A and B are shown apart, each in its own frame.
Chain A
Amino acid sequence: MERIDENALIETDILGFIERNQNKELLRFVTVGSVDDGKSTLIGRLLHDTKGVYEDQLKDATRTTDTGETAIDFARITDGLRAEREQGITIDVAYRYFHTPIRKFIIADTPGHIQYTRNMATGASTANVALILIDARLGVLQQSRRHAMIGSLLGIPHLLVCVNKMDLVDYDKDIFDTICADFKGFSDTLDFKSVDFLPISALMGVNIVERNPARTPWYDGPTVLEFLETVPIADDINLRDFRYPVQTVIRPNLDYRGFAGQVASGVVTKGDRVKVLPSGKTSTVTHIDMWEGDQDEAFAPQSVTLRLADEIDISRGDLLVHEDDAPYVGRHVDATVVWMDETPLDPGRSYLIKHTTRYVRVNVDEVAWRLDLDTLEQDDSAETLKLNDIGVVRFTAHRPLVFDPYRANRSTGAFVIIDSMTNTTVGAAMIREPDDPAALKAGVELGAESQVSPTERASRLKQHGGVVWLTGRPASGRSSLAYALERRLWDKGWSGAVLDADDPRYADGVCAGTSVAAAVAHRMADAGLVAIVAVDSPHARQRESAAHAPGDAFLEVFVDTAADVCAARDNRGRYSNGTPEFERPVDPAVTVDLGSTDLETAADTVVAALTRAGLVFDKPGPRR
């Protein structure tokens, strides 16, 4: 069939052109190949032939050859940052854009080297298609298998294998067929919905945009561009299971309370019964609001605002689902993890994760196995994951996670792992099908729960529960400050409670360990109290894991009394063997020095910080 000439349309019928362009579908694809397989050349050509390149970029890429002809160095079109240019390699994901008369495209252009697994994972996370390049002369290398495997792990639905540099093997059908058969043997073990093969020459422009029967008379499939234009992607999105992570509550006046979010999967219709997780409360959708007006339905990935029939407690991080189609709820998950940080995964540590719109703290239970990237075999002896490693890790979350397996849902099945000391993103995780699915179906694990909501507590107590963590050296004055603060809060009409390791009534050791103290403090905070914790926590790591998740109110107060003052004040011999080890907090919310400040003033400083944070208040306001 004849291709529509959009360029002619632009000249003769611009409104027709606009109309077409307001009705195109978006396809995202990721390109991978080893260095020199011809990825830049292919992309450069696609961009060039679809006019996705600007004149000045073209000027940069045009050079005069030895024979005096002008030639376009297609690979130059997609150059990146200066540092990379100097090194002559691409080391980060670059995004490129072009359109054809049929679709709009976003390319995530990722370097293929083994060191750059993390880049490929990034580009692959949103892609509909993975385009893998193979050098016809070299055949299927382990590298290509690895790329396909990563693409499959990240849930890319379609794989397109381009056998490039066919010009260098005389467009030999047998070579092409051998490569296809070889690769297919492997890709059949993977999870793609479709796998296709294409013989091309990126340099000569064969089978990229135009078919070239003179070169490959034996090939009658689509060109690269035709493939990208026609591969069916409408069902790449899960439209079965309605999942709606609440981003924020919109409350412009007392009559309107809407829950804003992006439909992660599925379809929701006015009148649908929905359940809020993890609370388990149910209600009915009364309005699906958009700027354009009230809608009858919304589907993924639309951004909308939902209103419900009942006044139930819903806040950011909650997930709305259909009542009869529940995801899993549980604290334990196994996930395939791509490690992205120079510092290896530390199995003894806790990390933060961001899962849909929630941050939750997790402990690493164990690394089950690591994928050996050379042999593509499981390595069961691995104890950690290093930069660019892939492996299966078992996590325990501090709060229940509401999730689906990644294979069923790319949104509720994925999370990023964050080092809460540095705040960097250190890993990406894809949740696996649980071992015992039945036990995890929503609600089962939750059991009986409090019938008093946080909102009710806050409006009676005029405070949100929270944890004030006093960090300081022994004898810095933590306990004294804790009780001064408790009194000060009480006098102002608020309620605090002290957890003091030195209190003889706790001789049974309830507060001996920081993790026990933290757990008790968070329980008190859930009950609406301001828990004031004065226990020894000399290590940043102890304090870090005490903080649980950022959604919880946690205020670290640094009692920064100088070591020599503490030593002089100490009456329990804690300084007799020299100054005990102590790591200063990096980013405390409040710092007070009880060498130079009296207790009253210090307590006031903390109360002021609690007020600023909205934890205690006279008139209800938003908690920051």
Chain B
Amino acid sequence: MTDKPLLSPRTLTHLRALEAESIHIIREVAAEFDNPVMLYSIGKDSSVMARLALKAFAPGKPPFPFQHVDTTWKFQDMYRFRDEFVAETGVEYRTHINQEGVAAGINPFDSGSQTHTNVMKTQGLLQVLNKYKYDAAFGGARREEEKSRAKERIYSFRDRYHQWDPKNQRPELWNTYNGRIRQGESIRVFPLSNWTELDIWLYVYLESIPVVPLYFAAERPVVDMNGTLILVDDDRMLKHRPDLDERVQQRVVRFRTLGCYPLSGAVESSATTVPEIIQEMMLARNSEREGRLIDYDEDGSMEQKKREGYF
């Protein structure tokens, strides 16, 4: 047997095959739904999904807006990156903040991570879905990401209340997606379903897709909270927790996933390029979400969240 991956002529590499599949999905949804939206969370998966959307409709623009649900606690680097992305691509961009949550003073420190995430992210998302009456929302989730996602469909159906009912999902054969819904119902679409974390980074590298600098290692001020390194990203952190001031230290760290900065753990790393990130990832192979406090609740939590409308 040969030791080399040998491609016959007119065979797509797996990355190009995944790309073609994702573009097909994005176009199907854009063509069949009245009011689709791309949920844009600024992370690497969103960046890849956005690139695929741009490819799908070039030389035109994606015929749907990019929607950010802003918890107000994202990393400053993420906000900067987002603004550049919007300016450079010229996509239609919308942002939403759950103002009720802001008025109630919800924040990750005093309210706890669960409440903060539930109010600012999950409720915020539901508000915006209702506000604009989106009937299809693209999300960047991947099946490989978490055990309970292995059976997630590419089109995930939600009832009028955005609820996901495991019994009410449709079989998906070939690349023929049944996109019929009633008024008020909607779907979440996961064009990256079949991509792995390695695929994402390989594609970022292959396509030179810009990603938030926080993915790369640099010296940053962090606090060690029970073994999780939290970045001191702005002065709100010490305002809420003055006691942490003396525990701030400079370390060379990077992030594997990005969310709200007080809830995203950094890892010590020296990876400053995409190949180095891939190298580090392949050597470590810890599940990607381990660095996220939000998942520390009991087994099956993702499924629970999905029922509640969180991705």
Say if the beta carbon of A390 comes within 8 Å of chain B.
no
Contact residues of A between 238 and 255, Cβ < 8 Å to B = 239, 247-248, 250-252
Interface of A is mostly: mixed
A26/B178 in contact, CB under 8 A: no
Contacts A26-B17, A56-B287, A95-B150 given: A20-B5 contact, CB under 8 Å? yes
Contacts A20-B5, A94-B151, A423-B181 given: A247-B28 contact, CB under 8 Å? yes
Binds A, one of B51-59, B67-75, B125-133, B228-236: B51-59
B60/A252 in contact, CB under 8 A: yes
Contact residues of A between 85 and 102, Cβ < 8 Å to B = 92-97, 99, 101-102
Q: Which residue of B lies closest to A317 (CB)?
A: B31
CA distance in complex: A555, B283 (Å): 58
> Smallest distance from the beta carbon of A455 to chain B beta carbons, Å?
18
Say if the beta carbon of A11 comes within 8 Å of chain B.
yes
Most buried by A among B19, B27, B196: B27
Q: What does the 1/0 interface line of A236-273 toward B look like (CB < 8 Å)?
A: 00010000000110111000101011100001000000
CA distance in complex: A257, B70 (Å): 37
A82/B148 in contact, CB under 8 A: yes
Q: Which residue of B lies closest to A155 (CB)?
A: B174
A22/B15 in contact, CB under 8 A: yes
Say if the beta carbon of B12 comes within 8 Å of chain A.
yes
The count of chain B contact residues (Cβ–Cβ below 8 Å) is 76
B151/A22 in contact, CB under 8 A: no
Say if the beta carbon of A572 comes within 8 Å of chain B.
no
Say if the beta carbon of A617 comes within 8 Å of chain B.
no
Say if the beta carbon of B91 comes within 8 Å of chain A.
no
A302/B151 in contact, CB under 8 A: no
A291/B17 in contact, CB under 8 A: no
Contacts A11-B283, A25-B11, A56-B286 given: A587-B23 contact, CB under 8 Å? no
Contacts of B5 in A (CB 8 A): 20, 23-25, 101-103
Contacts A252-B60, A256-B59 given: A423-B10 contact, CB under 8 Å? no
B20/A1 in contact, CB under 8 A: no
Interface residues on A, range: 35 or more
Contacts A262-B24, A411-B174, A425-B171 given: A624-B34 contact, CB under 8 Å? yes
A81/B151 in contact, CB under 8 A: yes
Contact residues of A between 180 and 234, Cβ < 8 Å to B = 222, 226, 229-230, 234
Contacts A22-B13, A301-B21 given: A251-B173 contact, CB under 8 Å? no
Binds B, one of A2-10, A135-143, A278-286, A319-327: A2-10
Most buried by B among A55, A262, A359, A624: A262
A357/B58 in contact, CB under 8 A: no
B31/A248 in contact, CB under 8 A: yes
CA distance in complex: A80, B166 (Å): 12
Partner of B173, one of A10, A121, A261, A550: A121
A1/B1 in contact, CB under 8 A: yes
Say if the beta carbon of B208 comes within 8 Å of chain A.
no
A2/B1 in contact, CB under 8 A: no
Contacts A92-B151, A97-B143, A302-B20 given: A418-B180 contact, CB under 8 Å? yes
Say if the beta carbon of B175 comes within 8 Å of chain A.
yes
> Smallest distance from the beta carbon of A480 to chain B beta carbons, Å?
27
Q: Which residue of A lies closest to B173 (CB)?
A: A125
B180/A423 in contact, CB under 8 A: yes
A23/B13 in contact, CB under 8 A: yes
Contacts of A20 in B (CB 8 A): 4-5
A234/B11 in contact, CB under 8 A: yes
Partner of A80, one of B28, B30, B148, B170: B148
Most buried by A among B170, B206, B283, B285: B170
Q: Which residue of B lies closest to A413 (CB)?
A: B174
Contacts of B282 in A (CB 8 A): 7, 10, 17
* B contact residues vs A (CB 8 Å cutoff): 1-5, 7-8, 10-21, 23-24, 27-28, 30-31, 34, 54-61, 143-144, 147-148, 150-151, 166, 168, 170-178, 180-183, 193-194, 196, 198, 202, 205-206, 275-276, 278-279, 282-283, 285-288, 290, 299-300, 303
**4 closest A-B pairs (Cβ-Cβ)?**
A252-B60, A26-B14, A234-B8, A54-B287
| 28 contacting pairs across A/B (C-beta < 8 A) | A7-B282, A10-B279, A14-B278, A15-B275, A18-B205, A26-B17, A57-B147, A81-B300, A96-B144, A97-B143, A99-B196, A102-B5, A122-B173, A126-B173, A250-B59, A252-B60, A262-B20, A262-B23, A262-B24, A301-B12, A302-B16, A303-B27, A303-B56, A414-B174, A416-B178, A418-B178, A420-B180, A428-B173
* A contact residues vs B (CB 8 Å cutoff): 1-4, 7, 10-11, 14-15, 17-18, 20-26, 51, 54-57, 78-83, 92-97, 99, 101-104, 106, 109, 118-119, 121-122, 125-126, 222, 226, 229-230, 234, 239, 247-248, 250-252, 256, 258, 260-262, 267, 289-291, 299, 301-303, 305, 316, 340, 352, 354-357, 359, 410-411, 414-416, 418, 420, 423-425, 428, 550, 586-587, 624
